[in-house]
C-alpha cells in the first residue's frame, strides 16, 4: 500500500478526519495572519524611512508626516517647498506647529537651518494665531541609526531654540516617542506637551 493509498483509506476515520479539517482551518488562519502582518509591515514602513540613510528631503517630509498622523494627530499637512514655507503644519486644538524637516550627513545642521521656520512662525503670529516652530533632523544620514550622535545640536543652537521658543528634535527621537505612545508607556497628550517644549526634546 502506497502512502497515498494509506491516506485515502484512513482519512475518513473520524479522529483523523477531524484533525484534517482542523489543519485546513489553521492554515486558513495562518494565511490570514500572515497577510495582516504584511499589511501592517507596509503601514509602519515610515518608522524605518525617517532614519533611513541618505533619504532625500521630500521622502523624509512625507514619512515624518505619516508618523505624526499615525501617532494620533488628525491634522498634519505637507505644505511644500514650492510655497517657500514650512515643510509640515500640525494643527492641534490650541495651537499650530510649523515643522522644518531635513536630512544631513553632518553631525550638526547650520544655525540658520535650525531656526529657518521661525520666520514663518512670525508671519502666523502676526495674524493672531497661536503658533510655534519645530526643527526635525535626520542627522549623520550616511550612518546606521545606532551609530549616530544622540544629540546633534550645539549649545548655541539649544540656547537660540529656548530663546526663540521652538523645538529641536531628531527623527530617531520621534521614532522612540512613537513606540512609547503605541506601547502605552506615554500618552498622546503627554507627547503633545513634550514636543511643545522649547530647546531639545528627546525620548
What's the pLDDT at 100?
Answer: 94
What's the pLDDT at 138?
Answer: 93
Q: Tell me which of 117 and 71 has the higher pLDDT.
A: 71
pLDDT(149) > 90: no
- pLDDT tens, residue by residue, 56-102: 888 999 999 999 999 999 999 998 666 678 899 999 999 999 999 99
Report the candidate in 184, 182, 183, 181 with the shortest Cα–Cα distance to residue 194: 181
What separation in angstroms does the CA of 202 have from each of 9, 99, 107, 182? 66, 16, 16, 17
What's the pLDDT at 15?
Answer: 93
pLDDT(26) > 80: yes
What's the pLDDT at 82?
Answer: 63
Residues 111, 116: Cα–Cα separation, whole Å = 9
Q: Fold for 49-200, please state it.
A: Restriction Endonuclease (3.40.91)
Provide mean pLDDT across the span 5-21.
Answer: 90
What's the pLDDT at 50?
Answer: 93
Give the residues across from 99 on adjacent strands.
Answer: 88, 134
Least confident of 4-13, 28-37, 120-129, 174-183: 4-13
First-residue to last-residue Cα distance in the chain: 66
Domain boundaries, the chain: 3-43, 49-200
Listed in sequence order, the residues at least 6 apart from 56 whose beta carbon sits closer than 8 Å to its beta carbon are 103
Amino acid at each position: 500500500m502506497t502512502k497515498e493509498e494509506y491516506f485515502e483509506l484512513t482519512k475518513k476515520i473520524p479522529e483523523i478526519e477531524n484533525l484534517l479539517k482542523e489543519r485546513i482551518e489553521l492554515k486558513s488562519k495562518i494565511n490570514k495572519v500572515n497577510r495582516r502582518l504584511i499589511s501592517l509591515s507596509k503601514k509602519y514602513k515610515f518608522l524605518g524611512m525617517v532614519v533611513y540613510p541618505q533619504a532625500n528631503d521630500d521622502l523624509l517630509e512625507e514619512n515624518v508626516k505619516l508618523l505624526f498622523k499615525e501617532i494620533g494627530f488628525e491634522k498634519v499637512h505637507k505644505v511644500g517647498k514650492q510655497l517657500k514655507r514650512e515643510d509640515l503644519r500640525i494643527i492641534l486644538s490650541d495651537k499650530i506647529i510649523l515643522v522644518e524637516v531635513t536630512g544631513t550627513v553632518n553631525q550638526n545642521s547650520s544655525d540658520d537651518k535650525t531656526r529657518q521656520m521661525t520666520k514663518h512662525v512670525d508671519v502666523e503670529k502676526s495674524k493672531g494665531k497661536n503658533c510655534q516652530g519645530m526643527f526635525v533632523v535626520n542627522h549623520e544620514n550616511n550612518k546606521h541609526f545606532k551609530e549616530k550622535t544622540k544629540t546633534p545640536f550645539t549649545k548655541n543652537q539649544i540656547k537660540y531654540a529656548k530663546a526663540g521658543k521652538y523645538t529641536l528634535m531628531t527623527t530617531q527621537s520621534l521614532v522612540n516617542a512613537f513606540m512609547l505612545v503605541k506601547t502605552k508607556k506615554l500618552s498622546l497628550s503627554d507627547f503633545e506637551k513634550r514636543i511643545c517644549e522649547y530647546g531639545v526634546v528627546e525620548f
